[in-house]
Amino acid sequence: MKRKTTLLDSVREKLELSVVYPHAPEKVWRALTDPRSLEKWMLPNDFRAEVGHRFHFQDRNRRIACEVVALDDHRRIAYTWRDGSDEPLSVVTWTLEAVEAGTRVSVEHASVSVASAVGAKMFWSGRFSGLSGMLRLTPRVRQTKMDRDNGVPTLRPLLASSPKGRRAPFYNGVSLLGA
């Protein structure tokens, strides 16, 4: 049975999250572009860092069809994203920037419906957690924002002690590093 379309489905958002990892951009780039590394923190995949390459991420309940549409080695990669639901095609862009503290990693998921924005925020926050665990680093949260305020709750970053006594980034009480 097809889901009923609402007004919120037609309004599009651009979700942006950014984290600083205290590591060189080259190491973070490998985590974003090596298929085995991607599988450890993202999802199983058949990814290749080549413009035009069509690939899939496989989630438990869905297959996400993607195509690499932009690539600037060690700086930026973008791919289309269609998760098989009624959501239209969107674009995910990862950007790396060398900063004094290491590497700022930003993800932008453009053309997300307002109706699915909260789920997308939780998904990408979880991916940052997985990336952090794979790199065995504690990120420092720099920013979270959406390009418009349409009444959708935003994730507010804060630092708090995790159950293991580490200082860890949390989003509205959800640890990015896990318990």
Q: Do 127 and 41 meet the contact criterion of CB atoms below 8 Å apart?
A: yes
- HSE toward the beta carbon, residue 74, CA cutoff 13 A: 7
The identity of residue 31, as a single letter, is A
Average pLDDT, consecutive stretches of 10 residues, N- to C-terminus, the chain (179 residues) = 43 80 93 94 96 94 92 96 78 95 92 69 84 69 44 39 42 40
Q: Please give the structure tokens belonging to residue 14.
A: 């651009």
Q: What is the pLDDT of residue 119?
A: 75
Domains observed in the chain: 12-175 (3.30.530.20)
The reply to whether the predicted model has a pTM over 0.85 is no
Please name which of 130, 161, 153, 155 lies closest in space to residue 143, comparing C-alpha atoms: 155
